[in-house]
Amino acid sequence: MPSIPANYPPDLTSSEGERLVEVVKDWASAHGLSVRPPPTVVSAEADPAGILSTAVPVTLFPSPFPQICFDQGRVVQKAYNELYAAISQDEEFLAQIVKDIGDSDEFIAELWKVHLKVKEEGYAQHLSLGLFRSDYMVHQSTPEADPQIKQVEFNTIASSFGGLSYQTSALHKYLAVNEYTLLEKPITQGQLTLPTNLSTRGLAAGIRQAFLAYGPSVTSHPKCVIFLVQDGERNVFDQRHLEYEVQAPPATIPVFRLPYSQIMQHTRLAEGEGERSGRQLLYSSPQLPKHTFEVAVVYMRSGYGPGDYTDASAWDARYHIERSAAIKCPSVLTQVAGTKKVQQVLATPPDASSSEPPILGRFISSKDDRNTQRIHHTDDTIAALQRTFTNIYPLDSSPSGQKARAIALDEEQCRSYVLKPQREGGGNNIYRSAIPGFLKSIPEAHWGAYILMELITPPPVHNTILRLGRLEQGGVICELGIYGTCLWDQREKQGRGIVMNEQAGYLLRTKGDKSEEGGVAAGFGCMDSCALVGRGHAKNSGERHD
């Protein structure tokens, strides 16, 4: 590997900073590395037609990231895809998870009811699509030890930023060729190792494969893909990049954006009318009154949190989608598989007194890999997955739950932990010293709906973030996401019946080291890409404290 310059990323002179701001903000607008502006920047009154966009916050340099950690994440992704397909296939396991979370979490309880209702009449579609993203931070147990990745969370619904991530890698590659070479302390082109990132193409390929696997239209209508989105979505261009890639020739696929709140107005299930009824989901839009489409794939970029379920009719809409013959990304079962409770159950070792075998053995079994014609070695796969786990505890009355309660309520120990509810989308966690007070403020009977997770503390890295036209320089924390796509038959068990399993590019999100949350859309983090480094650099940068 070529050696990265010492003290990378470099400190910039003020004129270098000015130039990079100009170059990056224009490149971002020209290539759609953008979001709708936050209301704090442009009020709704100032932009009533919603015509404005703005560059997404981004680092001026790709952050140094250990190559061995990057490889570790990529290599383990297919095992993760298979693991979560297998969990989704294991209704009995998920039923226990929902029970453990308890009724205090109404959202999860309602979601489960949707599944039970559809199960009663029988599912009309057995194929399930996962566009996953497994998120990690770098962990180094001692300065001498090799860094490794530890999982922050596994996303099974609305795994976002694939579109913008590809663009960010492209931006940094552009800068490496055209700008970094001109700096006062120039970085020559060969000095940076910038990995290929096909996130948009990889995710789109997953949707396309599901579209094909759906089979021919059963009704007289052409097939389409629906992106189920939120009203007023600011991260719309990230989604658009993915849409354009799904629609790209030669096999042009019609894609429509449908706000979650309008499901019932614009879709119905086929029944009679000359259409053979198998609960095919039909989509028609008042904007295109002459056209009706049979929906092959529903890709959800909404519906992951209570905010989209404002009343009972929103739950009816989810039930309507779930019972349809469209391939869901994700199904309700796959969404529940992505809860933090599942992650905790996978990571918490069995109590010493228990004779139960490790839980991963329930999902990962020896089987032929259709793609490589090789037999998986179960023990190796399980060990590779386990290496990415960090300590996570339940807060129930089990022995490990009791241990966790003591930690969570202790003013000193709680500082190394984060408390998480069963929510997605950022802004829901309780950090460090806020944990004891928060727990005491809610009934003890509700504690089981939370998990307690050890904080991962990656070695310090420096960078400069361009946010809303201004530069922020200082210590940053990077979070690597690896995308994966998987299509499987829900009637099988233990990850059998997988028809597609691919690793699909990466995301690097970076935040200032004073911020707890890292969500780009939530306004805390920024987009980044990886400049891969060997072991030496991780150590050196760990010694910088400015």
User: Choosing from 34, 63, 128, 160, which is the catalytic residue?
Assistant: 160
Q: Is 453 annotated as a binding residue?
A: yes
Backbone angles phi, psi at 514, to 5 degrees: -95, -5
CA atoms within 13 A on the CB side of 426: 14
Q: Is 195 annotated as a binding residue?
A: no
CB of 509 to ligand ADP, least distance (A): 7
What is the SS3 string spanning 388-446?
Answer: CCCCEEECCCCHHHHHHHHHHHCCCHHHHEEEECCCCCCCCCEECCHHHHHHHHCCHHH
Does residue 19 carry a catalytic annotation?
A: no
Q: Are 400 and 351 in contact (CB under 8 A)?
A: yes
* Choice from 105, 153, 294, 528 touching ligand ADP (CB under 6 A): 153
> Considering beta carbons, is residue 109 or 455 the nearer one to ligand ADP?
455
- Taking CB atoms, the residue at the shortest distance from ligand ADP is 518
Q: Give the whole-angstrom CA distance, residue 279 versus residue 289.
A: 21
Q: Is 420 annotated as a binding residue?
A: yes
Does residue 120 carry a catalytic annotation?
A: no
> Considering beta carbons, is residue 459 or 495 the nearer one to ligand ADP?
459
Q: Does an H or E element contain 341, and which?
A: helix 340-347
* Choice from 102, 278, 425, 542 touching ligand ADP (CB under 6 A): 425
User: Choosing from 133, 150, 223, 279, which is the catalytic residue?
Assistant: 133
Does residue 420 carry a catalytic annotation?
A: yes
Q: Is 479 annotated as a binding residue?
A: yes
> Considering beta carbons, is residue 174 or 524 the nearer one to Mg ion?
524
CB of 378 to Mg ion, least distance (A): 29
> Considering beta carbons, is residue 330 or 495 the nearer one to ligand ADP?
330
* Nearest in space to 205 (alpha carbons), one of 131, 116, 114, 292: 131
User: Choosing from 34, 134, 153, 331, which is the catalytic residue?
Assistant: 153
Q: Contacts for 277-280 with beta carbons within 8 Å, 24 or more apart?
A: 278/124, 278/218, 278/325, 279/124, 279/323, 279/324, 279/325, 280/218, 280/219, 280/324, 280/325, 280/326
Only one of the segments 79-87, 259-267, 283-291, 451-459 lies at the binding site for ligand ADP (rule: CB under 6 A); that segment is 451-459
Q: Is 155 annotated as a binding residue?
A: yes
> Considering beta carbons, is residue 429 or 473 the nearer one to ligand ADP?
429
What is the SS3 string spanning 217-267?
Answer: CCCCCCEEEEEEECCCCCCHHHHHHHHHHHHCCCCCCCEEEEEHHHHHHHE
User: Choosing from 17, 102, 278, 425, which is the catalytic residue?
Assistant: 425
User: Choosing from 155, 197, 400, 541, which is the catalytic residue?
Assistant: 155
Q: Which x/- pattern, by CB under 5 A, does the window 149-168 give for Mg ion?
A: ----x---------------
Q: Is 517 annotated as a binding residue?
A: yes
DSSP secondary structure code for residue 141 in this structure: S
* Choice from 308, 424, 502, 528 touching ligand ADP (CB under 6 A): 424
What is the SS3 string spanning 519-537?
Answer: CCCCCCCEEECEEEECHHH
CB of 480 to Mg ion, least distance (A): 12
Only one of the segments 23-31, 74-82, 244-252, 425-433 lies at the binding site for ligand ADP (rule: CB under 6 A); that segment is 425-433
Backbone angles phi, psi at 431, to 5 degrees: -110, 140
The site partner of 455 among Mg ion, ligand ADP, none (C-beta below 5 to 8 Å per kind) is ligand ADP
Does residue 540 carry a catalytic annotation?
A: no
* Choice from 152, 314, 325, 345 touching ligand ADP (CB under 6 A): 152
Q: How many residues bind Mg ion (CB under 5 A)?
A: 1
User: Choosing from 243, 275, 424, 502, which is the catalytic residue?
Assistant: 424
The site partner of 233 among ligand ADP, Mg ion, none (C-beta below 5 to 8 Å per kind) is none
Backbone angles phi, psi at 320, to 5 degrees: -60, -45
Counting beta carbons within 10 angstroms of the beta carbon of residue 100, is it exposed (0 to 12), middle (13 to 18) or buried (19 or more)? middle
Q: Does an H or E element contain 327, and which?
A: strand 327-329
Q: Give the whole-angstrom CA distance, residue 296 versus residue 324.
A: 10
Amino acid identity of 116? L
CA atoms within 13 A on the CB side of 418: 15
> Considering beta carbons, is residue 152 or 317 the nearer one to ligand ADP?
152
Per-residue tokens: 461:
């890295």
CB of 478 to ligand ADP, least distance (A): 10
CB of 538 to Mg ion, least distance (A): 23
Only one of the segments 63-71, 172-180, 193-201, 453-461 lies at the binding site for ligand ADP (rule: CB under 6 A); that segment is 453-461
- Taking CB atoms, the residue at the shortest distance from Mg ion is 153
Q: Give the whole-angstrom CA distance, residue 199 versus residue 504.
A: 5
Q: Is 153 annotated as a binding residue?
A: yes
Q: Which residues contact 250 (CB under 8 A, 6 or more apart)?
A: none
Does residue 133 carry a catalytic annotation?
A: yes
Q: How many residues bind ligand ADP (CB under 6 A)?
A: 17
Q: Give residue for tokens 């992650």.
A: 343
Interface residues with ligand ADP (CB under 6 A) are 135, 137, 152-153, 418, 420, 424-426, 428-429, 453, 455-456, 479, 517-518
Interface residues with Mg ion (CB under 5 A) are 153
Catalytic residues, by residue number, are 133, 153, 155, 160, 340, 420, 424-425, 509
